[in-house]
Amino acid sequence: METLLINVPEQKSTLVKQLLKELGVTIQNQTKARKLAEQINRNIKPGLKPDLDEIVAEVNAYRSEQAE
């Protein structure tokens, strides 16, 4: 089985999920923790390891965006 990541517009989400389920596709919802981890990982530059202060700053920035 192959794993795909598909970005679907909110207004089409229900329809797309119904169609995919009819085709036998298993749908996994992305948790907030996983989404946060992926966003932080995208911001890490190869070969550089962030220190704890940088990680905390990233988490705080993400949380402040979500509060808006």
| Residue extents of the structural domains in the chain | 29-68
For the chain, give the mean pLDDT: 83
**Measured CA distances, 57 to 17, 28, 42 (Å):** 35, 29, 15
- pLDDT at residue 68, rounded to an integer: 65
Q: Give me the amino acid identity at 11.
A: Q
Angle made by CA atoms 47, 58, 27, in degrees to the nearest 5:
90
Residues near 36 by beta carbon (within 8 Å), at least 6 away in sequence: 59, 62
More confident residue, 1 or 14: 14
